[in-house]
Amino acid sequence: MSVKKILVADDEAHILHVVSMKLRNAGFEIITAVDGEEALELCISERPDLLITDFQMPFMTGLELCTQLRRQDATRDIPAMMLTARGFDIEPEEMEAAKILAVLAKPFSPREVLQKVNELLATVGAEQE
Amino acid sequence: MNFTQTSTCKILAEMEPMFHRLGDRARDLGLELSVWNSEGLRVGEFEPNCEFCRTVFEAGGGCMDRVREIAASVSQDGSPVATCLSGGCSVVAVPIRKRRRIVGTVVTCWPGQSWLDEEFVARRCDELHLDHQTLSAMVRKVCGRNQQKCEELLPWLEWVVENEQALHTANNELATLSTNLSTTYEELSLLYSISGSMRVTQSPEAFLQAVCEEVREVMNLSAAAAVLHAHPPAVHEDTVVISGDLSLTNEQVMLLASTQIMPMLVENNHVVVENQFQWAAHPDLGKEVRNIVAVPLMGENTLGMLLAFNKESADFNSVDIKLMNSIGNQSTVFLTNNMLYADLQDLLMGVLHALTATIDAKDPYTCGHSNRVAIISKRLAESMGLPAQRVQQIYLAGLMHDIGKIGVPESVLCKPGRLTNDEYDAIKKHPGLGAKILGGIRQLDDVIAGILCHHERLDGHGYPQGISGDEVPLDARIIGLADCFDAMSSDRTYRKALPLEAVVSEVQKCSGTQFDPKVVEHLLSWDLEALLKELCQPAKTVFPIRIAQEDAV
């Protein structure tokens, strides 16, 4: 099985570092973006296997980002997971529409993120087979 | 999408230390450096470093207009520029980026190769009305770079700007990381300190007050409050504790909690977050409350709630909510334990009262005697400054001092006339019997001595052991006096109550032989008439001592 590529998008450096480090140590290939627009560009150019995104980012929120992804064939199927400090602001319908598979509210444990990532990749992998 | 002008200005202002470092490096190389925002406006004053530049600049021969155009074009399309201007100035300009967007331009310039041409210098001197010789001398010191050098400088400048920006970003990240780490430490230490301070003997109010103080500081709140429902509701009232500055009174917080927040808590899956809070029913009361987080204190029943008011300079986020939830849960554990403890304590007291009531029931004339002795003993212990734990112990011993009478035949106990020697011997067994009855209860170990020895006397003529002086435990000396005082001042089967003066003179007479003079002194210093009147009243609460509370006086 090839190494899975994960894009982590967050404008807060510490979250980016913590999540990337945990996932990189677990054997994933990690690319990072510091705002929604960069994340969208990287989704198109790099086609990651999973997107982990913050909700509140400059230029484009995580929700807008996911909505944009669903509009293009190339990125439509990239599974997305959201890390947010405002979990209470996202409506279930919005999540459903943007196909966000999981939401973790900050502060989260890095182990929890890794576990969720493995779960999501396993589910998505099983669906594709 | 572009930054607005104000936002680029702000971003550039944050980068100021970086521009200072760049300026210093440029100066070392004999270059002038200026910074322009994305609107093509210069940031800060332009102060030429070298004498030559300053002279030309002040004479109006500077090339600021051209530099501005170049900076604007670089800001526009992002391509760096290296060029020689007709005024003799060589210019290298590179964009400054933040989050991949151009926020401004850094321009370096210096006197170009043209200034080495004597004819050019003469012409410029004429135009600018400057002295040819002086200027030539200045030029020779600084000049000499040509177009090729200029192009060589371009990658250098790009590299330096890039490095400086990386350094700037890294510094910012480090600052953010440190801030976050410190906040996380504070939150952790808050949780540690709350779980560490959960002593079941603490009063719920004192515990919640301490929790509110900590929460307010760690979460940067203007105020934190807790509402605690009464337990049990019939006996106690709901309480509110507040820490910090809040425009609401305790009653208003209670109203807010019960009418506005509680229904939302029930509906909102157990946490309420209002970043634009409005109190619909009382807009004027609520106007100083900007934002609110409330978590319930939820055991088997709702015990109350914790409230966080007005987070300074930000909205409440999920970090705050998780923290509040965790503190709410910890507080609930404490409150639940505390209530269990109180219930157990009430149960124990109830059982003990019931037990003593059985003695009093055997002899209606002594009805309430045990309870009165307990109260007088407690007052004496308090008045002598004994610690709360000891006061409670003496109260309990006072309450149960006659429990052994359950083993004395009723015919003897209630005999109206004079007792025979045998009968008196039977009576004398009651302290020992009492100690034996309660001897199996480990938690009452400390109480036994007071019961066993309450008929001992300082002079050694008491019973059952006939010990004297300091051998008679203080608890027993206190209870012994309380016992006799109440016996003399109430009606008995064989006589009426003695008048107060007679009781006092009897106590005084026996001070030093039967009673401890120190304890007597405390008793006689009181308003005894008022005490007797008070003792006749039915007790307000069944159990005057509820829990030995640390913070009780």
**pLDDT tens digit sequence for B446-461:** 999 999 999 999 999 9
| DSSP state at residue B78 | -
C-beta neighbour count of B74 within 10 angstroms: 24
Q: Are strands B292-298 and B89-98 parallel, antiparallel or unpaired?
A: unpaired
Q: With 70 as the cut, is the pLDDT of residue B412 above it?
A: yes
CA–CA distance, A43 with A51 (Å, rounded to integer): 8
Q: With 70 as the cut, is the pLDDT of residue B549 above it?
A: no
- Which whole number is the average pLDDT over B275-298? 86
pLDDT at B86: 80
Q: With 50 as the cut, is the pLDDT of residue B386 above it?
A: yes
Q: With 80 as the cut, is the pLDDT of residue B142 above it?
A: no
Set of chain A residues whose Cβ sits within 8 Å of the Cβ of B184 = 107
For an interface test with A, the pick among B291, B318, B325, B326 (most A C-beta atoms closer than 10 Å) comes out as B318
- Mapping DSSP to helix (H, G, I), strand (E, B) and coil, where does residue B40 land? coil
Please check whether residue A52 is in contact with residue A102, taking contact to mean a CB–CB distance below 8 angstroms.
Answer: no
pLDDT at B6: 63
Report yes or no for ipTM above 0.90: no
pLDDT averaged over chain A? 89
- Which whole number is the average pLDDT over B460-485? 94
- Which whole number is the average pLDDT over B520-532? 91
- For chain A, which residues make up each domain, given as ranges? 5-122
Phi, psi values for residue B235, rounded to 5°: -95, -40
pLDDT at B552: 37
Interface of B with A in 159-188 (CB under 8 A): 172-173, 176-177, 180-181, 184
pLDDT at B144: 57
CA–CA distance, B513 with B515 (Å, rounded to integer): 6
pLDDT at A24: 94
Distance from CA of A129 to the nearest CA of B (A): 37
**How buried is residue A25: exposed, middle or buried, by Cβ count under 10 Å (0-12/13-18/19+)?**
exposed
Interface of B with A in 82-121 (CB under 8 A): 99-100
The residue type found at B165 is Q
- Helical (H) or strand (E) element with B35: strand B32-37
Q: With 60 as the cut, is the pLDDT of residue B236 above it?
A: yes
Class of domain A5-122: alpha beta
pLDDT at B183: 86
The reported pTM is 0.69
**B553: confidence class by pLDDT, cuts 50, 70, 90:** very low
pLDDT at B542: 47
Digit-coded pLDDT (tens) for B147-160? 667 677 788 888 88
- Which whole number is the average pLDDT over B406-410? 87
Digit-coded pLDDT (tens) for B29-46? 778 888 998 887 888 777
CA–CA distance, B519 with B483 (Å, rounded to integer): 13
Please check whether residue B227 is in contact with residue B307, taking contact to mean a CB–CB distance below 8 angstroms.
Answer: yes
The tokens describing B27, both together, are 């100066």
Higher pLDDT, B109 or A78: A78
C-beta neighbour count of B45 within 10 angstroms: 6
Q: With 60 as the cut, is the pLDDT of residue B107 above it?
A: yes
Digit-coded pLDDT (tens) for B168-184? 888 888 888 888 888 88
CA angle B80, B86, B89 (to 5 degrees): 60
**How buried is residue B372: exposed, middle or buried, by Cβ count under 10 Å (0-12/13-18/19+)?**
buried
pLDDT at A128: 67
Digit-coded pLDDT (tens) for B480-499? 999 999 999 988 767 788 89
**How buried is residue A17: exposed, middle or buried, by Cβ count under 10 Å (0-12/13-18/19+)?**
middle
**B411: confidence class by pLDDT, cuts 50, 70, 90:** confident
Inspect the interface and report whether the beta carbons of B322 and A87 lie closer than 8 Å.
Answer: no
For an interface test with B, the pick among A54, A64, A86, A108 (most B C-beta atoms closer than 10 Å) comes out as A86
Set of chain B residues whose Cβ sits within 8 Å of the Cβ of A86 = 317-318
Distance from CA of B319 to the nearest CA of A (A): 5
Start-to-end CA span in chain A (Å): 13
Torsion of CA B2, B4, B10, B11, to 10 degrees: 0
Count the residues in chain B.
553
- Which whole number is the average pLDDT over B517-529? 93
Digit-coded pLDDT (tens) for B329-365? 999 999 999 888 888 888 988 888 888 888 877 766 6
Interchain contact B269–A (C-beta under 8 A):
no
Of A35, A37, A85, the CB nearest to B317: A85
pLDDT at B381: 95
Distance from CA of B7 to the nearest CA of A (A): 12
The tokens describing B152, both together, are 């060589």
The set of residues, in sequence order, having a beta carbon less than 8 Å from that of B313 and lying 6+ positions away, is B220
pLDDT at A115: 94
pLDDT averaged over chain B? 85
pLDDT less than 70: residues of chain A: 1, 87-89, 128-129
